[in-house]
Structure 1
Amino acid sequence: MNSVSASSRAEVVRGALLVALSASAFGAMAIFGRFAYAGGTDVLGLLTLRFLICGVVLSVVAKQRGVAWPRGRALWPIVAMGGVGYVGQSLCYFVALQHAQASLVALLLYLYPAFVTLLAAWWLGERLTQVKAAALVLCLAGSALMVGGGRGEPLGIALGLAAAVVYSIYIVVGARVTRGIDPLATTAVVCLAAAAVFCTVSLVRTLAGAPPHLPQTAGAWMAMLAIALVSTVTAMLAFFAGLTRLGAARTSMLSTLEPVVTVTLASLLLGERLSPLQWLGGASILAAVLWLVRAGGGAHDDEVSLEANQ
């Protein structure tokens, strides 16, 4: 009995480490993006390379694991998730990084659990309890403090909020259309669909004489590869591996490490400093997210399996 209990605890610890790794990898993406921009790439070049590399790598991993791919009617909604929803979210997020602090953008994006709760109540009939309503108010108050105390152009702030809204819609829609489909297959299809859109736009732009800007320095290429292989592929695989060991609720709680990592790295590597108001706002957002997780709710549990698609 003791050996079984020890084995169970070891699995929980392993799962926690995997989710912490995933959150750290996701949290570093904004910082890698800043270094890629500094090395000459633009948003279109960055996103085209990111999704092309991720789509190919995840497809190979899925094939090696013998994962069943969605087909027919199950396939096209997932393609739309990648080609429309994820393209929109990624554009908003990475353009926002050019117009606002990385730490501010990361914390604004983390409003998405609040938006998911509202959308689930509206579209999926989830009950909006008093606890959830109070957590939503705390989220909104925290975001107001973040924006009021942060450094960023209005465009960057607006796009950070737009990224959270688009991502929330993507999650709620995905909670319905991906039921019964392996998450690894879902993420591979999403990345391939997004890659197809960005490759098409890049081709059109190139034919028009305005090709996307690719990384111009070794450092920028390293940052670009880190976005694809560390902050996307590794983060996704670690997330799914941790999810199977911890379950949805604990995985969600540990995932709140993500914006903390972004804020810490932005301070250490980019010289960004948060004002006392921003610290208070960021803490309010994270507290509200944890409160929403503890309050439970089917939509949020469904959402967790898709969270690794950032």
Structure 2
Amino acid sequence: MSASLRKIGIQAALASAIFSGCAPIFGKQAILYGFSPLAVTAIRTTLAAVALLILMAVFKRSYLYMYPVGLIGCALAGFVNGIGSILYYSAISRLDASLGHLLYSFYPLFMAFWMLVDLQPISRITALRLVVALPGVYLLISNSSTGVDLIGAGMMIGSAVLYALHIRITQRILFEAPAQSVTLYTLMAMGLTVLIAYLLFDRNLPAAGTPWWPLIGMAFVTFFSRFTLFLGVKHLGGIQTALLGLGELLVTVVLAMVWLGERLTPLQWLGGFILVVSLLMVGFDRHPPEKRRSSGLLAWLNPSPLGKTDFPWQPHP
């Protein structure tokens, strides 16, 4: 991988971390205003998906093309992440935003697990960075000044497992499709999943006059975090992007302190410093770019070979 592509990947992953770090704060604020977790998830995802679809249809219709198996993969990734999103904001309603996102930061561990299941090796530096990050996460969680809701914690861990799986699925699809197309169809499938869940199990909205700006802000950061995440995965690799995304943890913690009035103990600050060290180690990771593999749990997502007379349909730009 060239230095320029690697630089693009790191910049995209950092941007994704910043946008993603803002989402829990907006979500917690919306819940405090009276929106249910299902309403928060459904409204912000649907708004982001519709906005992206309109943007693509008007300016970049070529990105509407997706090979059939890839489209199925996007639907699967969106469904998985939709369920994970429901678990996430249900957990946020029971936990502080900072504590909840600290638990969610375990997802790189599950990302490594899914990569091994999919027969994709991880580099030694990546493994070392995971080991370095663990004590930091432990210090942040074990020294909380408030009790931990075990049901909420379990929901958050489940969300992390599903989020890691969705990254692995999209990484497979990105071998043959641009990040913009994958973002669109994954987000649409995610929006459809959470909207159906909302219509079936909730349908409640807060009283008239309740501020909606947190949900508008969530839709904005959802769109940009999804796009930059997949761009980072395409140029940097899934596990490195996931680890670099731990930076969103620090963004969430800082905003939770400034915006929501949450506080950290000295040992939790030490844990945050350890995580920063793990983030900085990305500069030493020389993991080679992934190659499309014909084996593994998600090998079925690879497109079928084209014959000499087979040409995929391409819409006019």
- So what's the TM-score if we normalise by structure 1? 0.77
Q: Give the equivalent residue in structure 2 for 1:39.
A: 33
The 3 A distance-change label for structure 1 pair 153 and 257 is: same
Change (3 A) 1:100 1:201: closer
Distance in 1 of aligned mates of 2:206 and 2:271: 35
The separation in 2 between residues aligned to 1:174 and 1:109, in whole angstroms, is 19
C-alpha deviations, 1:216-261, integer Å up to 9, x for none? Answer: 46563111111012x11234456678x59x9538977875542222
CA distance in 1, matches of 2:19, 2:129: 27
- What residue identity is the alignment partner of 1:203? L
1:119 to 107, 114, 135: 114
Going from structure 1 to structure 2, the CA distance change for 1:102 and 1:127 (only over 3 Å counts) comes to closer
Aligned to 2:218: 227
Equivalent in the alignment of 2:199 = 203
What's 1:291 paired with?
A: 281
Q: C-alpha offsets along residues 7-45 of structure 1, whole Å, 9 cap, x if unaligned?
A: x99xx79x95x7655433321111111111122110111
RMSD: 3.3
Aligned amino acid, residue 149 of structure 1? N
1:267 paired to 2:245: no
Q: What one-letter code is carried by the residue in structure 1 that aligns with 2:154?
A: A
Q: 1:265 to 1:56 in 2, by over 3 A?
A: same
Contact 2:38-2:90 at 8 Å conserved across structures: no
Matched, 1:81 2:86: no
Matching residue of 2:236: 248
Instruction: Decide whether the 8 Å contact of 1:68 with 1:182 is kept in 2.
Output: no
For 1:59, the equivalent position in structure 2 comes to: 53
Alpha-carbon spacing, 1:45–1:72, altered in 2? closer, same or farther (3 Å): same
Q: How does 1:123-202 map to 2 (within 5 A)?
A: 123-127=118-122, 129=124, 131-150=125-144, 151=146, 152-202=148-198
Match of 2:23 in 1: 29
Aligned residue-pair number: 281
Tell whether the 8 Å contact from 1:41 to 1:216 is kept in structure 2 after alignment: no
CA distance, structure 1, for counterparts of residue 265 and residue 285 of structure 2: 30
The answer for unaligned runs of 5 or more in structure 2 is 293-317
DSSP-derived class of the 2:83 partner: helix
> How far, CA to CA, are the matches of 1:270 and 1:300 in structure 2?
41
**Residues 297 and 218 of structure 1: is their aligned pair in 2 closer, same or farther, counting only changes over 3 Å?**
farther
Residue deviations 1:139-161, cap 9 Å, x none? 33222222211233122322222
Inter-CA distance 82–23: structure 2 relative to 1 (3 Å threshold): same
Aligned partners of 1:100 and 1:62: how far apart in 2?
A: 37
Instruction: Report the Cα distance in structure 2 between the residues aligned to 1:132 and 1:194, rounded to whole angstroms.
Output: 29
TM-score (norm 2): 0.75
Give the secondary-structure state (helix, strand or coil) at the position aligned to 2:212: helix
> Partners of 1:254 and 1:133 in 2: how far apart?
13
State the alpha-carbon separation in 2 of the partners of residues 136 and 251 from structure 1: 13
Give, in whole Å, the separation in 1 of the partners of 2:92 and 2:113.
26
From the superposition, tell whether residues 221 and 267 of structure 1 become closer, same or farther in structure 2 (CA, over 3 Å): same
Determine the C-alpha separation between the residues in 2 that align with 1:53 and 1:104: 27
Over residues 83-116 of structure 1, what are the superposed CA-to-partner deviations in whole Å (9 max), with x where a residue is unaligned? 2x11122122212212222112223323322332
Three-state SS of the structure 2 residue aligned to 1:220 is coil
* 2:308 equivalent in structure 1: none
Identity of aligned residues (%): 24
Shift of 1:282: 2.8
**Structure 1: any 5+ residue segments left out of the alignment?**
1-7, 206-210, 303-310
Q: Is the 8 A contact 2:83 2:194 kept in 1?
A: no
Which residue of the partner structure matches residue 88 of structure 2?
A: 93
Report how far residue 290 of structure 1 moved: 4.1
